[in-house]
């Protein structure tokens, strides 16, 4: 693998973005750049398309930690939101997993940064936020990831 800049990864906690070039609390487009892609804010970067390349899916890992006494209610609220999210434009994957300590981890894949931005303001997520209010141990931990494809095309990247 040729040497080059490390992939960009930023973590958002409770809607605020920590790290990542061009990141702000209101706009995640700037943190979705990849090594070799155009600068944040350029036409190619804002489309999630590297110059001369195919569109790049956006992968998000969201970890939700419920307060122990609200674990069942949080799980039910998240499960209820999933069918609506699956129907959102650009949703390629929205798969719920549970950790052994009771946290819920959502693996998300969106066809573009724009689709992710629309999801962030969609009714399903707004309603979910209202249902989870006061039931979490802290703000959700959101990581927006850049793929580093390696090996087999089907197995080396989401």
Question: Domain residue spans in the chain?
Answer: 57-147
What pLDDT was estimated at residue 9?
A: 40
Range of lowest pLDDT (37-41, 66-70, 90-94): 37-41
pLDDT at 130 over 70: yes
Give which of 105, 101, 75 is closest to 93, Cα–Cα: 105
Q: What average pLDDT score do residues 22-32 get? A: 31
Between 71 and 55, residue with greater pLDDT: 71
Among the CATH numbers 3.30.70.100, 3.40.50.1220, 3.40.390.10, 3.40.50.300, which is that of 57-147? 3.30.70.100
Between 128 and 150, residue with greater pLDDT: 128
Asked if 93 contacts 139 with a C-beta cutoff of 8 angstroms, the reply is no
Residue 16 pLDDT class (50, 70, 90 cuts): very low
What pLDDT was estimated at residue 154?
A: 86
Report how far residue 101's alpha carbon sits from residue 104's, in angstroms, rounded to the nearest whole number.
Answer: 9
76-124 pLDDT, tens digit per residue, is: 999 999 999 999 999 999 999 999 999 999 999 999 999 999 999 999 9
Taking the model in full, what pTM does it have? 0.67
Report how far residue 106's alpha carbon sits from residue 59's, in angstroms, rounded to the nearest whole number.
Answer: 10
At residue 44, φ and ψ (nearest 5 deg) are -65, -45
């Amino acid at each position: 693998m040729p040497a080059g800049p490390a992939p960009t990864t930023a973590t958002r906690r409770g809607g605020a973005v920590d790290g990542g070039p061009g990141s702000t609390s209101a706009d995640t487009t700037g943190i979705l750049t990849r090594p070799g892609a155009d600068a944040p804010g350029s036409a190619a970067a804002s489309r999630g398309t590297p110059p001369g390349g195919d569109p790049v899916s956006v992968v998000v890992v969201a970890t939700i930690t419920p307060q122990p006494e609200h674990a069942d209610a949080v799980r039910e609220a998240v499960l209820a939101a999933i069918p609506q999210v699956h129907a959102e434009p650009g949703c390629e994957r929205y798969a719920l997993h549970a950790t052994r300590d009771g946290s819920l981890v959502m693996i998300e894949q969106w066809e573009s940064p724009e689709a992710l931005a629309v999801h962030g303001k969609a009714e399903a997520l707004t309603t979910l936020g209202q249902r989870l209010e006061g039931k979490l141990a802290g703000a959700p931990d959101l990581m927006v990831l850049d793929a580093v494809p390696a090996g087999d095309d089907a197995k080396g990247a989401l």
